Chain A
Amino acid sequence: MRRRAFLLSVPLLGLAQALGCTDPRSHSHAVYLLVDTSGTYAQEVDKAQLIVNYLLGSLQPGDSLAVARVRSRSFSEKDIIAKATFDQRPSQANAQKRLFKERIADFTASARGSVKTDITGGLIQGALFLNETGAGKKTILIFSDMQEELDKSTIRDFPIDLKDIRVVAVNVVKLNTDNIDPRRYLGRLEDWQKRVEAAGAREWRVINDLEHLDALLKS
């Protein structure tokens, strides 16, 4: 890759200098990780640490990362546990990543379960955060069983906007009821796919095998 870039750069450099311009597009990557802490899924929160570690190891200087929890009502900045736009300098970015890791470790140690699960609110909050970063590539990771449970007063049945955002559901565990009737599980995933795609998302993907996290950031 480097070699090709080197060979390509010789004529491109001259061209770029002649034109006197740089690529205006953003090449940074912004990731928003939603961690479900409701009900029985709260015990899976340790696995979220693995995902965060993978993201910290993979994201480059200039990229952004935010981790938020999914609670009964998740459309709030207060639910963002940690967020950072890594410095352009690799050494500073590494220092930020170390700090980020510590904050997530504190969160996983003290995470408490919530009664309801507002995934939609978290998605809306995530989309707002990602759009604000102005990143070229935007990804929302949902670490959840994808079973949304809202209280009566919470309104989420309206179209949402996830334009140009990749949405990846991670570690979507099967509930007891899914084991009785697998159609419930498959139907739940299908419903989410329809909803996400209707919201304008660039891609919908489900990753249950945490051994293959390399697919998280690949579109």
Chain B
Amino acid sequence: MADSPLWMIWPGNAALSALVWFVIAMPFLYAARTPVHGLLRSLGALAGGPLRLAARSLLATARELRERNRAVLLAQGREESEERIAREFERVAALVKRDLEGYPALQRRLLDEITRVEEDYRKCGEVPPPPPEWVEAVAAVAKIKPNGNELVQHLLEEINVSIKAIHDKALAEYRRSYQARHKILDGFMPFWRSLDKTLAQADRKMTSLADRAAAIDAQMERYEAVVKKSDKAEHALTVSAATQFFIATLVLAIAAGGALINFKLIALPMSEMVGAGDYLTASLRTSEVAALVIIFVEATMGLFLMETLRITHLFPRIHSLPENMRKRMMWTSFVLLLILAGIEAALALMRDMLIADKQALLQSLAATQAQAADGWLTGIPTAGQMLLGFILPFALAFVAIPLESFINSARTVGGAALVVLARTAGVTLRVAGNFFRQLSKVLITLYDIVIVLPLLAERLAKNARPPAVRSGRADLKVGERP
């Protein structure tokens, strides 16, 4: 018995002891009902209120961010569309200048050829001269009936012979005339071909112009959609930005691989220049940093080269430079890049020599016979390294293009990701806030269930009172505050 806890009124029977305690506590719990309800409600509001407030704030931020992203995206899209349309017009202008500039000459040539063909055609249409007038006289004589007169017979035979001779002559003349016309028609062919070629050329130019016009139409439609700030245009721009972002990231990763190879090529020989024993940090040698600096300088020169060539648009100041200054800067960047590429090629050669020297030393230390080197075969890696050292700086220069795409698209993709993050956080906080509010209600109900007996008694007592006394309070249900 001595082992029983203090709270056990009925030693050895915990359930009964708990029941007794419950019965004792019930009046006190009933008495404390109103403040406990208030406390639970306050706790629910205390936990849920700030959470809901934070959720509202986050959702508002997400909305604001989305609006801002939309504005930026549409502005970018508008600018991009304008640039594309301008580029299309430039192409059309170039086409017009190139093709239609020669159009008067083309037209004159066409007219000349047509005139010539018409003349020839007219010549073809000329019929042979009609038979002479005496043919009619001959016809009248031919109508004379033979009556056995020898003179008439002889005359008719003579006429027949003459007519035959004349007929043969006229036929030959007629054939000659047709031969001449056929010759003229035969001479048509080159003109027809030339005419056909000229017309096909004109048709091609016109088709090319029509294609450009169609492209301009498409760009204009897109531009109009962007100007109208339609959801479709926004969606298209977002998808385009996301695609650009992933492509640019991929290309930048490849470029980073190239930079790593470049770094490996020049890190060792740089130690010959700046020493191998200096360290910037515990694991980073000064020679490695020097190699990195060279790579960064190359990338920067490449960036400037691309900017001055107007391929990228990262620095507005460069674009606003006067033309001669821009060209000067372009040549400076190119020459510096060329010098750095030359230095890299030399460093790559030095790397090969250093490795060979180290190898020779190690072989002499190991007391092993050095293998005879095959002249030109061993030269291949050296030449390859030098070539790689020369090419890589120029290849790195093109990093500016994906870098620009990456920077431009990262704003859109990052903004969209931020909106999603803010929304998710807002919804989560809202759910948590509601949970605490509902939890306080559940606890209030549970509390009333615990003290259900006094509450029933209260209701019975109220019902027993006269209606006048109960007025104003009789409509209260169990569990509700007075």
Contacts and interface: CB of A to CB of B under 8 A. Distances in A.
Interface of A: 2-3, 5-6, 8-10, 12-13, 16, 22-23, 25, 27-28, 53-54, 56-57, 60-63, 88-91, 93-94, 97-98, 101
Interface residues of B, number: 33
A57 B280 contact: no
A67 to B, nearest CB: 14
B279 A101 contact: no
B133 to A, nearest CB: 111
Contacts of A8: 283-284
A53 B366 contact: yes
Contacts of A57: 361-362, 365-366
Contacts of A13: 280, 284, 289, 292-293
Interface string B344-361: 000000000110011001
A2 B279 contact: no
A60 to B, nearest CB: 6
Give 10 closest A-B pairs by Cβ, nearest first. Answer: A62-B277, A88-B275, A61-B276, A53-B365, A23-B279, A27-B279, A16-B280, A94-B361, A88-B277, A57-B365
A2 B264 contact: yes
- Residue with the highest number of chain A CB atoms closer than 10 Å, among B275, B285, B292, B361: B361
A130 B394 CA distance: 48
Contacts of A3: 260
Nearest to B283: A5
Contact of B277 (A12, A28, A94): A28
B364 interface: yes
B361 A98 contact: yes
B362 A22 contact: no
Given A10-B292, A22-B286, A97-B365, 12 more contacts: A3-B260, A5-B283, A8-B283, A9-B288, A16-B281, A25-B282, A60-B276, A61-B271, A62-B276, A90-B354, A90-B357, A94-B357
Nearest to A53: B365
Interface in B267-312: 267-268, 271-272, 275-286, 288-289, 292-293
B267 A2 contact: yes
Contacts of A88: 271, 275-278
Interface of B: 260, 263-264, 267-268, 271-272, 275-286, 288-289, 292-293, 353-354, 357-358, 361-362, 364-367
B130 to A, nearest CB: 102
A6 B364 CA distance: 32
Contacts of A63: 277
A124 B89 CA distance: 87
A98 B364 contact: yes
21 contacts: A2-B267, A3-B260, A5-B285, A9-B288, A9-B289, A13-B284, A23-B279, A23-B280, A27-B279, A53-B365, A53-B366, A56-B365, A63-B277, A88-B277, A88-B278, A89-B272, A89-B275, A90-B357, A91-B272, A98-B361, A98-B364
Contact of B365 (A5, A22, A60, A101): A101
Contacts of B284: 5, 8-9, 12-13, 16
B262 to A, nearest CB: 10
Nearest to A85: B277
B280 A101 contact: no
